[in-house]
Amino acid sequence: MSLTSLLFATVWAVGSITDFPYGFKIAETFRNGQLAAWNEPSTRAVSPSSNALVFVDNHDSQRNPEIMSFKDGRKYELAQVFTLAYPYGRV
């Protein structure tokens, strides 16, 4: 078992991991209007769904132009609703 695998297994035993790649993936998907092509974001993430804490943006990422924010208007709102409804991760 690699050190990374051991680290994640240790963390997963006590809780979830913030899945920052999800925010990038959801922004790319909604900004480009490619929701029909959505695939499970775990292919870019480090956590399986049961251990991923997902979000569109948070206080650490909201100033990154690659992450969606209120400035994206309706697309941002739709991304939030999608995140709540999609069966991946925890909110």
Round to whole Å and give the CA distance between 55 and 89. 9
DSSP state of 90: B
pLDDT at 43: 46
Q: Span 10-27, mean pLDDT?
A: 81
> Comparing 16 with 69, which gets the higher pLDDT?
69
pLDDT digits (tens, 9 = 90+) for 31-82: 998 888 776 554 455 677 888 889 999 998 888 999 999 999 999 999 999 9
**What residue ranges in 1-91 does DSSP mark as E strands?**
17-18, 52-53
Nearest Cα neighbor of 64 from 26, 23, 10 is: 23
